[in-house]
């Protein structure tokens, strides 16, 4: 199964000022997070982010924050509870007056388009990213894709253990360039040159 930009939402977990210097290969991880957010903007993909205990770990990297639709603070390691209201469209309100019309004549409320694929990246991979992703998977509402080159932990061992666990739980493991070219589908896409410039 390939990613389709029209079905995706991007979730960025805890790219925070005081955390990133401790992350193994932190500059590369952060550069890919920024690139993902820029790609999302090119394709009209919503971008959500979380911040773990921001009073202690600082805010989201400024370049990432500028590209987010919304950033939610959290204290639990899993940000699923804070993200769920953003990820799921609100339930449509009933239309018409139930007393004035028989049920078969009432107009059905329009169904909001759903974006059921979550593209997720973040830090630390074995803590907040892992717990958020596994919690979202439990709801069975989402297909989850974890962008490995935009994730990090303080050690490679912890990061890689998280990837093993996420893959066995049913996540698809991808890279930033995989996301970019799957969202494009074709070199004839109007954003092809802009994407090329971002990935080179």
What average pLDDT does range 93-119 have in this prediction?
64
Domains of the chain: 5-86+114-199 (3.40.50.850)
**What confidence category does residue 111 fall into, taking pLDDT thresholds of 50, 70 and 90?**
very low
Per-residue model confidence as pLDDT tens digits over 18-56 = 999 999 999 999 999 999 999 999 999 999 999 999 999
Structure tokens that stand for 195 in this block: 């994407």
Q: Tell me: the pLDDT tens digits for 134-180?
A: 999 998 778 999 999 999 999 999 999 999 999 999 999 999 999 99
Other beta carbons within 10 Å of 109: 12
Tally: H helices and E strands in the chain: 8, 6
- Bond prior to 181 in cis (omega within 30° of 0): no
170 against 98, higher pLDDT = 170
């Amino acid at each position: 199964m390939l990613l389709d930009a029209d079905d995706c939402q991007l979730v960025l977990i805890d790219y925070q000022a005081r955390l990133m210097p401790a992350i193994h290969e932190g500059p590369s991880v952060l550069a890919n997070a920024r690139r993902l957010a820029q790609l999302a903007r090119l394709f009209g993909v919503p971008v959500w982010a979380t911040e773990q205990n921001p009073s202690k770990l600082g805010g989201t990297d400024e370049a990432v924050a500028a590209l987010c639709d919304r950033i939610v603070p959290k204290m639990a390691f899993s940000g699923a509870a804070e993200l769920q209201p953003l990820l799921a469209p609100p339930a449509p309100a009933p239309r018409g007056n139930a007393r004035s019309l028989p049920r078969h004549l009432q107009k059905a409320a329009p169904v909001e388009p759903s974006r059921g694929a979550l593209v997720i990246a973040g830090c630390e991979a074995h803590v907040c990213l892992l717990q958020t992703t596994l919690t979202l998977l439990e709801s069975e509402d989402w297909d989850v894709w974890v962008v490995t080159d935009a994730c990090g932990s303080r050690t490679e061992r912890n990061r890689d253990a998280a990837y093993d666990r996420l893959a066995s739980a049913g996540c698809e493991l991808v890279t930033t360039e995989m996301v970019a070219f799957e969202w494009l589908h074709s070199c004839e896409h109007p954003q092809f040159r802009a994407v090329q410039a971002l990935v080179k």
